[in-house]
Amino acid sequence: MMKGSKIMNVFEECENYLRNEGFNPIKINDGLIRFKAQGLSFLMSNDVSDPQFFRIIALFDKEQFNASRMNLLEAANKVNSEKKVVKVSLIERNVFITTELFLDSTPVINDFFERLIDILSQAILDFRLALNQH
C-alpha cells in the first residue's frame, strides 16, 4: 500500500509540474488529467492496478485525418517502427498516439516530461506526414 500511495504522489507531482509550468491541467478523475502543450491536447493517465505505469496520450477521431483505415494503419506502422517510446494505435473511431513508461518512486519530472511532449508532438507530425504520402 505504501508503494502505491508513493507512486500516486508521483502522479500528483506530475500534475503539480504541469500547473507550475503553465499547462493548466484539468483533473478529470484521480487517474486522468487533461492539459494542452505545443497547441495540442493531451491526457495523462496512470493505472491503479499497476501504480508504476504512466502514460501521456494524444487522442484523435480518425475522421479528422480523412484517410482510409488501411492508410491510417500504414502511417501508424511507419511511426511505430521509426520512433522511440511512441505507440500509435487505431481503436474503433480513435487514433491514440501515446508514450508510456514506468516510474520509480523518485523520478525527477523535469528530466523527462518536456522530452515526452516533444516526442509525442513530433510523432503526431510524422503520422500526418506519413498519411500524406499515400
The whole-angstrom separation of Cα 33 and Cα 56 is 9
Pairing of strands 26-29, 32-37: antiparallel
Query: What is this structure's pTM?
Result: 0.84
**Any alpha helices (H) in the chain, and if so which ranges?**
2-20, 69-82, 113-132
Strand segments, DSSP code E, in 38-113 are 40-47, 50-61, 87-91, 94-102
Give the tens place of pLDDT for each residue, 73-124.
999 999 999 999 999 999 999 999 999 988 777 778 888 888 999 999 999 9
Reported as a single tens digit per residue, the pLDDT across 5-22 is 554 466 777 888 899 999
Residue 106: how many CB atoms within 10 A of its CB?
A: 7
What is the pLDDT averaged over residues 44-51? 83
Angle at alpha carbon of residue 33, lines to 27 and 38, rounded to 5°: 120
In order of start, what are the domains of the chain with their CATH numbers?
Answer: 2-132 (3.30.1460.10)
